[in-house]
């Protein structure tokens, strides 16, 4: 195996683009629509840094309400960026007992996005 690409199920590609691209800073790598006259259904590839996700409004890609974790270098800087963009924060940066500093947000469909920074040995 080389990598895994999560497929995040959304109800609206328009709302997903507004959230993931305009607020979280992802860029659209591609978008497939079987009918270019309609925004949905749509299957998109989004990228930010080394993170690649697929976002789909096709019902065949399962239900909404999944979780995706992103490894990041500085969760506090990302938190500041997201707050500045008006992203509702579900859980602010928090040191976890398992050695991560984590922040959670939810997209418009309730999918949970975790942003995790590995803490140095000994915490903080």
Return the domain boundaries, the chain. Answer: 7-118
Quote the CA–CA distance of 106 and 10 in Å, as a whole number.
Answer: 12
Looking at every residue in the chain, the average pLDDT score rounds to 96
Q: To which H or E segment does residue 116 belong?
A: strand 112-118
pLDDT attached to residue 90: 97
At the top level of CATH, the class of 7-118 is alpha beta
Q: Tens of pLDDT along 13-27?
A: 999 999 999 999 999
- Residue 121 has a pLDDT of 81
Task: Give the model confidence (pLDDT) of 65-121 as tens digits.
Answer: 999 999 999 999 999 999 999 999 999 999 999 999 999 999 999 999 999 999 998
What pLDDT sits at residue 123?
A: 57
């Amino acid at each position: 195996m080389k990598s895994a690409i999560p497929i995040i199920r959304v109800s609206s590609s328009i709302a997903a683009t507004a959230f993931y691209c305009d607020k979280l800073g992802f860029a659209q790598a591609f978008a497939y629509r079987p009918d270019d006259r309609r925004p949905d259904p749509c299957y998109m590839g989004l990228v930010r840094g080394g993170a690649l996700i697929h976002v789909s409004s096709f019902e065949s890609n399962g239900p909404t309400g999944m979780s995706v974790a992103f490894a990041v270098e500085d969760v506090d800087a990302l938190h500041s960026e997201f707050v500045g963009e008006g992203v509702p924060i579900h859980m602010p940066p928090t040191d976890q007992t398992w050695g991560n500093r984590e922040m959670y947000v939810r997209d418009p469909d309730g999918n949970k996005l975790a942003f995790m920074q590995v803490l140095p040995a000994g915490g903080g």
